């Protein structure tokens, strides 16, 4: 990967709610009314005002993204996206997951966001296989960053050592 891109992508093991970035991305569900996993963690950390704002958004289609304030989070804003539920791989899951990353970064650029943290969308409750999801995540972000110079830093936030190792092994290969 070109050096300029390498400097703009980071992979860490962390709690995304603690990231000091302009925006964090939430792996939400279509209702946008909270849930478990990273969605639950973000809502807990942001406070009830986040849910109040989410209530005004009218949900979110799979693969699309919507933006809110961050409230009590360290990040000013939250970009909520809805990943595909894994159903075996023949239900357009790959494209929908790629759209989550592209639409989230596009919304970030439109909102003058310069630094953003991304969880491993769909790889928890939604059961998307981690290696396949990571290839899609890294390729989508790389492609977007090569066409968009305004985003200074994209941080892939892994919640486990095993996910981190998958990200590291894949990013070195592409």
Given the complex with ligand APR, which of 4 and 169 has the nearer CB atom?
A: 169
What gap in Å lies between CA 120 and CA 63, rounded to an integer?
A: 14
What gap in Å lies between CA 160 and CA 44, rounded to an integer?
A: 20
Measured over the CA atoms of residue 134, residue 159, residue 26 and residue 105, the dihedral's sign is: negative
Given the complex with ligand APR, which of 148 and 158 has the nearer CB atom?
A: 158
Question: Does residue 38 bind ligand APR (CB under 6 A)?
Answer: yes
Question: Does residue 27 bind ligand APR (CB under 6 A)?
Answer: yes
Q: Note the maximum CA span of the chain.
A: 43
- State the first-to-last Cα distance of the chain, in angstroms, to the nearest integer: 6
| Length, in residues, of the chain | 174
**CB of 26 vs ligand APR, minimal distance in Å:** 8
Given the complex with ligand APR, which of 147 and 161 has the nearer CB atom?
A: 161
Q: Which residues on neighbouring strands pair with residue 84, listed in sequence order?
A: none
**CB of 163 vs ligand APR, minimal distance in Å:** 6
Question: Does residue 28 bind ligand APR (CB under 6 A)?
Answer: yes
Question: Does residue 81 bind ligand APR (CB under 6 A)?
Answer: no
Binding site for ligand APR (CB under 6 A): 15-17, 27-29, 35-41, 83, 119-126, 157, 159, 163
């Amino acid at each position: 990967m070109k050096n300029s891109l390498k400097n703009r992508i980071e992979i860490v093991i962390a709690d995304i709610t603690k990231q000091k970035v302009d925006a964090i991305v939430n792996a939400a569900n279509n209702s946008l009314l909270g849930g478990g996993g990273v969605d639950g963690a973000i809502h807990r950390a942001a406070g009830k005002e986040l849910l109040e704002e989410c209530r005004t958004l009218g949900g979110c289609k799979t693969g699309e993204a919507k933006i809110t304030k961050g409230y009590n989070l360290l990040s000013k804003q939250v970009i909520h996206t809805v990943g595909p539920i894994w159903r075996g791989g023949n239900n357009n899951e790959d494209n929908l997951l790629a759209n989550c990353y592209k639409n989230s970064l596009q919304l970030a650029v439109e909102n003058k966001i310069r630094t953003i943290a991304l969880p491993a969308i769909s790889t928890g409750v939604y059961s998307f296989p981690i290696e396949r999801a990571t290839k899609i995540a890294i390729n989508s972000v790389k492609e977007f960053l090569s066409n968009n110079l305004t985003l200074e830093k994209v941080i892939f936030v892994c919640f486990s050592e095993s996910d981190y190792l998958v990200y590291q092994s894949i990013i070195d290969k592409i």
